[in-house]
């Protein structure tokens, strides 16, 4: 069942953020755009490359009014230890949510039940707390955070311009489409 267009279900969790442990819930996703990035586990191989890449785009995302949250089934304590011991992860300024109960991973339908780990899932959530995009990758396939920036820009454009849609490979400032009977069969 697709999560697109659905509001994030209630949850509460502990997270590591800028040297502190904080509480996080689905309410954090309301009032601004959010990117939630699930990954299998701390102290692994592809995961730090993805999270560092996301950090490299963090300033751009913040400029777009977006907050970023990473989530794995590790604890917030493990996130702190990883942050303290990994050159790549020590750069992270966004919230790192612990999901040892696997509840959040189940809510977002990314839990690999057999392994007890989250799949690589990226979700863009609008200011109403509603999921607008979902991307799930196999464990060995890392993600490119620059595509998240482009998807955020498209999602924000569509939200701010009712009646317009963004075609494939849309870039900020390029032409959009206005779906109508006149366009049917002409694209």
Residues belonging to the active site: 47
Residue in 7, 3, 11 with CA at minimum distance from that of residue 102: 11
- Say which residue the tokens 């009014």 belong to: 65
Cα separation of 33 and 151, whole Å?
12
Burial class (CB in 10 A: 0-12, 13-18, 19+), 185: exposed
In sequence order, which residues have a C-beta less than 8 Å from that of residue 79 and are 6 or more positions away? 15, 16, 42, 72, 96, 98
């Amino acid at each position: 069942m697709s999560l697109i267009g659905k509001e994030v279900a209630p949850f509460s969790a502990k997270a590591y953020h800028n040297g502190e442990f904080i509480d996080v819930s689905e309410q954090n996703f309301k009032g601004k755009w959010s990117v939630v990035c699930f990954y299998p586990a701390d102290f692994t191989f592809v995961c730090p490359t993805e999270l560092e890449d996301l950090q490299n785009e963090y300033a751009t995302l913040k400029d777009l009014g977006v907050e970023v949250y990473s989530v794995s089934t590790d604890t917030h304590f493990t996130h702190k230890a990883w942050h303290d011991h990994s050159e790549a992860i020590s750069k992270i300024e966004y919230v790192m949510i612990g999901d040892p109960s696997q509840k959040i991973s189940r809510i977002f339908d990314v839990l690999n039940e057999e392994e007890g780990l989250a799949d690589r899932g990226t979700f863009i959530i609008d200011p109403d707390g509603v999921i607008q995009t979902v991307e799930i990758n196999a464990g060995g396939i890392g993600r490119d955070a620059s595509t998240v920036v482009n998807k955020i820009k498209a999602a924000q454009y569509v939200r701010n311009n009712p009646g317009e849609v963004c075609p494939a490979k849309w870039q900020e400032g390029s032409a959009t489409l206005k779906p109508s009977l006149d366009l049917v069969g002409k694209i």
